[in-house]
Structure 1
Amino acid sequence: MRIGITGHRGLPSDVEDQVRRDLAEAISSYGLEGVVGVSCIADGPDSWFAEAVVERGGRLEVVIPAEEYREGLPDWHHQTYDALLGRASDVHRTGLAQSDSQAHMAGSELLVGLADQLWAVWDGQPARGYGGTADVVAYARRVGVPVRIFWPDGAQRG
């Protein structure tokens, strides 16, 4: 099973804890080495999912939306990003240079195209900017990729 991930960044710690547990449990249900995770490995759900896939013996493929993508991520996340990138069995690139909303959406479209299913850590609300989680979910649905939503009951975005 090839599973792509998208989701809100900057979630409160209680929501993060629940989402991490939910993702790990869902991945574990596929059995040892049952999952190929496809992720842009940004801070938040992208990297939590990627870590859970690798920890459970799955394979990780990374999508890099733009050559400047890493520099646009928080400095505190670079070590995790680099470690996950080093664990990737395949790396896919959009070929774009500037890390902007268009590149992020292009990366997400590439990710969806590589996946049998998209998992979305999504509150069901519209995207706060082009290329946000809602846009990725809408794109996946439009092209016929099944979407599984992860959102804790009563949770609020930060």
Structure 2
Amino acid sequence: MTRYAVTGHMDLTDDSVALVREALREVFAAHTEGELVGVSCIAAGADSIFAEELLAAGGRLVVVLPSQDYRQAKVKPQHAAVFDHLVESAVEVVVMPHENANRQAYEAANGELLRRGDRLVAVWDGTPPSGKGGGTADTVEQARAEGLAVDVVWPKGAARRS
């Protein structure tokens, strides 16, 4: 069994979504060793796309929520139905012990993702860390520092909204 954790950009362009979906399908199709398990915070963008494609590939989803108020405080109305479906589809939902969604809660959730994963799938354009902490580049750096294998997924033509 390989447990794939995910980190990635929330601000993918509409055209990039299909490219990222196809690239993630290829990652999951290459998985041949036992059960397929994915760990995601299911934020809008890469996290949820990863979770949807994992489930479509027959994988089991573990959801890590950064805080007790995450659904109410951070999930936008246009993402709510997908978010709720993914929570309902998960075999396990872990809620970090933070009352409020903030940078500290996101960093803790990212640490939990890495703790539960054997590999990190990073839907990442290679942009360095912003210095705020808790972002995609920060999670990639942390995974590499901990010796976790990182698979960067950034298909040709993918872009972020400006």
Could you tell me the TM-score, scaled by structure 1's length? 0.93
Partners of 1:18 and 1:155 in 2: how far apart? 7
Gaps of 5+ in 2: none
1:131 to 108, 129, 134: 134
Gaps of 5+ in 1: none
- In the TM superposition, residue 11 of structure 1 has moved relative to its aligned partner by 0.8
Confirm or deny that 1:29 pairs with 2:30: yes
One-letter amino acid of the structure 2 residue matched with residue 40 of structure 1: C
Report the secondary structure of 1:47's partner residue: helix
1:142 to 142, 145, 152: 145
Structure-to-structure mapping, 1:66-145, within 5 angstroms: 66-71=67-72, 72-128=74-130, 129-145=132-148
- In the TM superposition, residue 127 of structure 1 has moved relative to its aligned partner by 3.1
Distance 1:115 1:32, change over 3 A: closer
Question: Aligned pair count?
Answer: 158
Structure-to-structure mapping, 1:50-65, within 5 angstroms: 50-65=51-66
Report the secondary structure of 1:149's partner residue: strand
Confirm or deny that 1:156 pairs with 2:152: no
Partners of 2:159 and 2:13 in 1: how far apart? 8
Deviations 1:64-112 (A, max 9, x none): 1101111212111111111110111111222111101211111011001
Confirm or deny that 1:49 pairs with 2:50: yes
Question: Residues 38 and 61 of structure 1 are in contact (CA less than 8 Å); yes or no, is this contact kept in structure 2?
Answer: yes
One-letter amino acid of the structure 2 residue matched with residue 155 of structure 1: A
Say what the alpha-carbon RMSD is for the aligned residues.
Answer: 1.6
Partners of 1:48 and 1:155 in 2: how far apart? 14
Deviations 1:1-48 (A, max 9, x none): 100001001211122110111001211222597310100111111111
Report the secondary structure of 2:158's partner residue: coil
Could you tell me the TM-score, scaled by structure 2's length? 0.91
- In the TM superposition, residue 141 of structure 1 has moved relative to its aligned partner by 0.8
